[in-house]
Structure 1
Amino acid sequence: MTGSQLFVLLRRYSSILPRVWLAIALCAMTVSPPVQVAVFVRAESAVPVAEAPKDVGQLRDLQRQVAELIEKLKPCIVAVRIGNTQGSGVIVTEDGYALTAGHVVGEPHQSCELIFADGKRVKGETLGRYQDADAGLIKITEAGPWPHAEMGVSRELPEGAWVAALGHPLGYISGRPPVARLGRVLRNRDTFIRTDCPLVGGDSGGPLVDLTGKVVGIHSRIAGPTTMNYHVPVDVFRSNWDRLAKGEVWQDVIPGRDSEEVKRVVAGVISPEVRACVVMVRCNGRDTVLGTVVGPDGWILTKASELKPPITCKLSDDRELPAEIVGIHEEHDLAMLKVDARHLPAIPWAPSVDCQPGYWMISVGFRQDVPLALGIVGAPARRIPPQPGILGVTLEDTEGGPRITRVMEQSAAAAAGIEEGDIVLEVDGTPTPKTTDVIEAIRRHRPGDTVKLKLRRGEQTLEITVTLKPLDTPSQRRREMQNRSDVGLSRRADGFPRVIQHDGVVPPQFCGGPVVDIDGRVIGINIARAGRTETYIIPADTLLGLMYDLMSGKLRPASEATPESN
């Protein structure tokens, strides 16, 4: 089949082949393929690149290599902003040529902004775009020299090789460096490379690198499953360098880790003691979420927002016992359960473990011989801000108090019967003399929370209960569409004071279980599946600081004091 014939087939079946084009940008090239001294020196890989590791020692070597290349590549990777388009890119020459995806570049000779990992911003210009290959080029217009990575040879990349994907998923976030993900080459063709490094919108244009730190591809697009991530081979940039550097735009055609074998290698890292600490939490007779035994007398830690009594816990010895909610820590979305059991194995926390980007994270399942999921730390521990609940009104200050000037269609306010002209007197019993008081009172709540408003409508005083809704804008809907995961997302996936992000694909119903590193040390528990590229861990040192309050009973929810039994 020729390239043209394949293109016709792709167009014919495009309506039934869901493809989400990512968005990013950065390209690199000069008038001829650059000849330069690279940042990286080729080192012999400890892992045969086309084979799965055979033992934990090889995985440990792989971990070291990945952590080192992430640190070295960080200065070369940029976020790209071109108007409303956001993407990623990688600088590949000292004078500032950067590779990116063609759909990030858009049109040639546009002004753009490039943001480095340390927050530095520089100006650039878009150059050429090879549309069907989705290859694009950008040039920094400010004086260099610039940190840069070496371009590898993609045709020499064997299927099965370990590779790392770096970029800015869902766009640049201040204080977050380029996020790393690890996977293997599933397919390598002249026109595309397919990997299981999970990507999402915003990653487009970021680099795919081999274990020597050389750029072998540029992120292009994704399909539904997290194993279908496509990259432009770097050889496409090499062979079309002159045209891209001249700003040409042209078309022809483009087609388009978590294996059991690898999981079996790391299975021995998980000790029998840790396996025995994992329980299945069941609500209304259904498997709902995992839990972790944290005390020998029946103390079990799990994810709070998934719980709905009656609750039972199925232990590793197959006993299923009724569970009581003893405490809920809303901010961390943690719940402490208590079952009537003695002499249970308690999880051995390792609170001082350093979890750097690139380090292995192994998620432990319930009564499984192999790990639930395998991934790497993608970004350092950080706060995840909460998504605020939205009332859906505009306000103005008046002598009588904050007056509602507009009620948005299909908003929480509209559903509750709030009308234009209403004066907001109180929110949850607290007086609100200014519009800022109303805003601050609402901002403390999340989507789905209820708030009580006291309103004045003409001569009447009304009390109305409102259930807040999430933000609903075209850009937010687009972001959510791009961030969909084939395994689903957690009901609560934000508002955490401190979490570690990793790329292991952990379904929401398997959060709550422990996570260990390559040495088998328990570094925390999975708390949320947050997106296509990310799962969050609450680290052990944070968990240990919360144990007393959760066990003491002072965080016990009044309505959940004892298990329900209907």
Structure 2
Amino acid sequence: MKKLFAFLICLQIFKPTFAQNNSLNVEQLQAEVKQGIKQAYNASVRIIAYNSELQSGVGGNFSGVVVDKKGHILTAGHAITPNAIYLVTFPDGRQVKAKGLGVIANADAGMLVITDKGKWPTAKMGWSSILENNIPCLSIACPGSLGLNNPTVRFGYISNKLHDNGYIQNTCLMEPGDSGGPLFDLQGRVIGIHSRIRDVQEDNFETPIDVFRKYWTVLQSPQNHTAFIPEDKFSPDKKAQEKPVPEIAALSSSFKAQNSELQQTVFAVKDSVQKASILCTLVNLKGLFPESDLSGKSFFISKSSEIGEYPTIEVVAGKFVSAKVLNRDEKNDLALLEVSMEINGGVALQSINTDSVSFEEVGNFLISPQPQKEGIMSVLGNRFLAIPKSPAAFLGLGVNFNTDTHKITVTAIYHEWTNGKAENIKKGENDIQIGDVLTRINNEPILTVDGLSKELSKHDIDQSVSLQYTKKSGNTLTKDVVLKHYYVAPSTSVDHFIEGKSQRRDNFKEALVHDGKLNPTDCGGPLYGINGKFYGINIARFSRTTSLAMPTKVIVQFVKESKIIL
């Protein structure tokens, strides 16, 4: 049983909207998505267990949504304990405490109530019984992999209004940390609460909102309800029923005109030795360098960590030409490439607007064009984010918050990544091992995985941190650990999706987040809005829910600091 859990024309940066290929009005749909976000975003919260003694949140986060002025929060039953105290963070950064109320385990329904005084943004509750397949929906929750206080938006549709497991199935990507987060219709009404996933990305399941309506009274009692549970009576408002959008299951087919044009800026690139193929983006450097330096050449940007010393680029189908690496930006994982032939077009970097992305752009539809095939659709889920160092990639330690012991436990040991291969370093008996508990870093308590990552991000490669850890024997040891690069092998059981993450995917000062279902080999290509706006270059598949892109201002700065060699 599966686990639940592009020779070329020059692009303008801003263009009129492309013609659609069917009856679906994509601009209207995008406007409705953004209106739904506006209605629902502020009520979507991040939740973490609260340690009264330390006066701090501890462990891993989950999500929820505030649904009334009394401060009742709906969440997943598996995430809370009745009467336990939790720290709730609103998108604006305000933090309040809440108490766990009722739990109905077999429906995975749970409720909390805010105990601090104040006024809260709320979201309206919808009705799940009047849902239909192909109704658009939004997830606004806090993926655990990002470790952010503000939620991230994902877009999808109802694929099974009532799965045989009793849950709503939909295509909004979820992952651990999203548990308890709300699923909204485009009116911003809660129609489900995130419950569980499987390894297939389309398998995301929600507790129907009608479960909470049915057991509203019972859920206000702080206990685990397992016996006979009295039900509240309610009738759905059929006037509130949303209309299905049959075309939504093949939304990318609505953008054939965009795909045909944008496709001309994306190419396959591979190393002539390693034979690894990813993508690269054709860029036009006119205005940034003297014309004489550019004559007879073409330039591309791609993902540095996947580009060796001898790259080749597929300039036409089946024809690869040798490329030269002009510059690398290891901090942002970018490489500038040159080929000795002139290809017209590309992304005109001189005319790009490099201003910050505004919150109003969250929910915009995006396209990641692919060579010789349909592009990948997504929505902008968040603005510029810092992606900290992960313990796995820089300490060689897989860690997790153990919900039974409430401690940060080592779950995996990874090998050092040296000269393109993993080197197995022999460990001593007192070295950190699987099952050990991490207690302090640089003499500060380790309370969350997020906190550990943020502390690591204060240090560069080859610098050391002091780690305190407790062995299974009970002995507490302290060791200075040097930050290095470690190879983290893909693991479906850990990543929670079959396609897997990019090997280099963190330690970025700025990145854009979207929910494109990229494979690691899809990175290095461009990311556009449906109006042709160039948002940046896809740099990593970060997690089950998230792909990352280097924004335009980073791209332009990197190119300006590079040297074009005659």
Kindly indicate whether residue 146 of structure 2 is the aligned counterpart of residue 179 of structure 1: no
Aligned length: 449
Letter in structure 2 aligned against 1:267: K
Give the whole-Å Cα distance in 2 for the aligned partners of 1:286 and 1:217: 45
Instruction: Please say if residues 60 and 144 of structure 2, whose CA atoms lie closer than 8 Å, have aligned partners that are also in contact.
Output: no
Task: Please state whether the residue corresponding to 1:544 is helix, strand or coil.
Answer: helix
Give the whole-Å Cα distance in 2 for the aligned partners of 1:198 and 1:409: 28
| Residues 480 and 225 of structure 1: CA distance in aligned 2, closer, same or farther (over 3 Å) | closer
Give the whole-Å Cα distance in 2 for the aligned partners of 1:506 and 1:151: 33
Give the whole-Å Cα distance in 2 for the aligned partners of 1:548 and 1:201: 40
Match of 1:362 in 2: 367
| Residues 551 and 288 of structure 1: CA distance in aligned 2, closer, same or farther (over 3 Å) | farther
Instruction: Please say if residues 492 and 500 of structure 2, whose CA atoms lie closer than 8 Å, have aligned partners that are also in contact.
Output: no
Cα deviation digits, residues 191-223 of structure 1 (max 9, x gap): 211111110111011100001110000000110
Instruction: Please say if residues 89 and 100 of structure 1, whose CA atoms lie closer than 8 Å, have aligned partners that are also in contact.
Output: yes
Instruction: Please say if residues 282 and 300 of structure 2, whose CA atoms lie closer than 8 Å, have aligned partners that are also in contact.
Output: yes
Note the C-alpha offset of 1:277: 2.0
Instruction: Please say if residues 63 and 177 of structure 2, whose CA atoms lie closer than 8 Å, have aligned partners that are also in contact.
Output: yes
Note the C-alpha offset of 1:419: 11
Give the whole-Å Cα distance in 2 for the aligned partners of 1:209 and 1:266: 25
Note the C-alpha offset of 1:287: 4.8
Letter in structure 2 aligned against 1:357: V
Kindly indicate whether residue 145 of structure 2 is the aligned counterpart of residue 156 of structure 1: no
Kindly indicate whether residue 538 of structure 2 is the aligned counterpart of residue 526 of structure 1: yes
Instruction: Please say if residues 389 and 456 of structure 2, whose CA atoms lie closer than 8 Å, have aligned partners that are also in contact.
Output: no
Moved more, 139-148 or 487-496: 139-148
| Residues 352 and 58 of structure 1: CA distance in aligned 2, closer, same or farther (over 3 Å) | farther
Cα deviation digits, residues 241-300 of structure 1 (max 9, x gap): 1111123423489xxx9977211102222352x322211102237351101111472211
Instruction: Please say if residues 136 and 155 of structure 2, whose CA atoms lie closer than 8 Å, have aligned partners that are also in contact.
Output: yes
Kindly indicate whether residue 353 of structure 2 is the aligned counterpart of residue 351 of structure 1: yes
Instruction: Please say if residues 529 and 536 of structure 1, whose CA atoms lie closer than 8 Å, have aligned partners that are also in contact.
Output: yes
Kindly indicate whether residue 248 of structure 2 is the aligned counterpart of residue 238 of structure 1: no
Give the whole-Å Cα distance in 1 for the aligned partners of 2:252 and 2:507: 31
Task: Please state whether the residue corresponding to 1:268 is helix, strand or coil.
Answer: helix
| Residues 179 and 441 of structure 1: CA distance in aligned 2, closer, same or farther (over 3 Å) | closer
Give the whole-Å Cα distance in 2 for the aligned partners of 1:221 and 1:522: 35
Match of 2:95 in 1: 121
Instruction: Please say if residues 271 and 520 of structure 1, whose CA atoms lie closer than 8 Å, have aligned partners that are also in contact.
Output: no
Matches within 5 A, 1:509-548: 509-548=521-560
Letter in structure 2 aligned against 1:75: N
Kindly indicate whether residue 351 of structure 2 is the aligned counterpart of residue 340 of structure 1: no
Task: Please state whether the residue corresponding to 2:395 is helix, strand or coil.
Answer: coil
| Residues 57 and 112 of structure 1: CA distance in aligned 2, closer, same or farther (over 3 Å) | same
Select which of 86, 89, 101 maps to 1:112: 86
Matches within 5 A, 1:217-228: 217-228=192-203
Match of 2:270 in 1: 282
Match of 2:319 in 1: 319
Match of 2:389 in 1: 386
Kindly indicate whether residue 514 of structure 2 is the aligned counterpart of residue 498 of structure 1: no
Match of 2:288 in 1: none
Instruction: Please say if residues 88 and 96 of structure 2, whose CA atoms lie closer than 8 Å, have aligned partners that are also in contact.
Output: yes
| Residues 383 and 172 of structure 1: CA distance in aligned 2, closer, same or farther (over 3 Å) | closer
Match of 1:17 in 2: 2
Letter in structure 1 aligned against 2:250: E
Give the whole-Å Cα distance in 1 for the aligned partners of 2:32 and 2:75: 24
Kindly indicate whether residue 404 of structure 2 is the aligned counterpart of residue 415 of structure 1: no
Select which of 461, 472, 485 maps to 1:445: 461
Kindly indicate whether residue 66 of structure 2 is the aligned counterpart of residue 91 of structure 1: yes
Instruction: Note the residue ranges of structure 2 that are not aligned, 5 or more in a row.
Output: 6-19, 51-58, 229-245, 285-293, 398-411, 417-422, 431-441, 444-454, 464-481
Letter in structure 1 aligned against 2:381: G
Note the C-alpha offset of 1:62: 1.8
Give the whole-Å Cα distance in 2 for the aligned partners of 1:520 and 1:153: 37
Instruction: Please say if residues 327 and 553 of structure 1, whose CA atoms lie closer than 8 Å, have aligned partners that are also in contact.
Output: no
Give the whole-Å Cα distance in 2 for the aligned partners of 1:541 and 1:251: 55
Matches within 5 A, 1:52-67: 55=22, 58-67=25-34
Q: TM-score, normalised by structure 1?
A: 0.71
Alignment RMSD (CA, Å):
3.8
Task: Please state whether the residue corresponding to 1:415 is helix, strand or coil.
Answer: coil
Give the whole-Å Cα distance in 1 for the aligned partners of 2:129 and 2:249: 27
Give the whole-Å Cα distance in 1 for the aligned partners of 2:462 and 2:24: 45
Instruction: Please say if residues 383 and 497 of structure 1, whose CA atoms lie closer than 8 Å, have aligned partners that are also in contact.
Output: yes
Instruction: Please say if residues 391 and 442 of structure 1, whose CA atoms lie closer than 8 Å, have aligned partners that are also in contact.
Output: no
Moved more, 312-321 or 511-520: 312-321
| Residues 326 and 97 of structure 1: CA distance in aligned 2, closer, same or farther (over 3 Å) | same
| Residues 446 and 198 of structure 1: CA distance in aligned 2, closer, same or farther (over 3 Å) | farther
Moved more, 212-221 or 485-494: 485-494
The structure that has the greater radius of gyration is: 1
Match of 2:450 in 1: none
Match of 1:304 in 2: 304
Instruction: Please say if residues 66 and 72 of structure 2, whose CA atoms lie closer than 8 Å, have aligned partners that are also in contact.
Output: yes
| Residues 269 and 168 of structure 1: CA distance in aligned 2, closer, same or farther (over 3 Å) | same
| Residues 348 and 471 of structure 1: CA distance in aligned 2, closer, same or farther (over 3 Å) | closer
Give the whole-Å Cα distance in 2 for the aligned partners of 1:382 and 1:306: 22
Instruction: Please say if residues 200 and 482 of structure 1, whose CA atoms lie closer than 8 Å, have aligned partners that are also in contact.
Output: no
Instruction: Please say if residues 104 and 205 of structure 1, whose CA atoms lie closer than 8 Å, have aligned partners that are also in contact.
Output: yes
Letter in structure 2 aligned against 1:217: G
Instruction: Note the residue ranges of structure 1 that are not aligned, 5 or more in a row.
Output: 1-15, 21-52, 393-407, 421-433, 448-465, 555-566
Give the whole-Å Cα distance in 1 for the aligned partners of 2:68 and 2:269: 53
Kindly indicate whether residue 213 of structure 2 is the aligned counterpart of residue 261 of structure 1: no
Give the whole-Å Cα distance in 2 for the aligned partners of 1:330 and 1:470: 16
Task: Please state whether the residue corresponding to 1:225 is helix, strand or coil.
Answer: coil
| Residues 417 and 169 of structure 1: CA distance in aligned 2, closer, same or farther (over 3 Å) | closer
Task: Please state whether the residue corresponding to 1:261 is helix, strand or coil.
Answer: helix
Instruction: Please say if residues 222 and 228 of structure 1, whose CA atoms lie closer than 8 Å, have aligned partners that are also in contact.
Output: yes
Matches within 5 A, 1:191-230: 191-230=166-205
Moved more, 136-145 or 480-489: 480-489
Match of 1:143 in 2: 117
| Residues 259 and 445 of structure 1: CA distance in aligned 2, closer, same or farther (over 3 Å) | farther
Give the whole-Å Cα distance in 1 for the aligned partners of 2:89 and 2:521: 37
| Residues 414 and 193 of structure 1: CA distance in aligned 2, closer, same or farther (over 3 Å) | closer
Letter in structure 1 aligned against 2:224: V
Letter in structure 2 aligned against 1:281: V
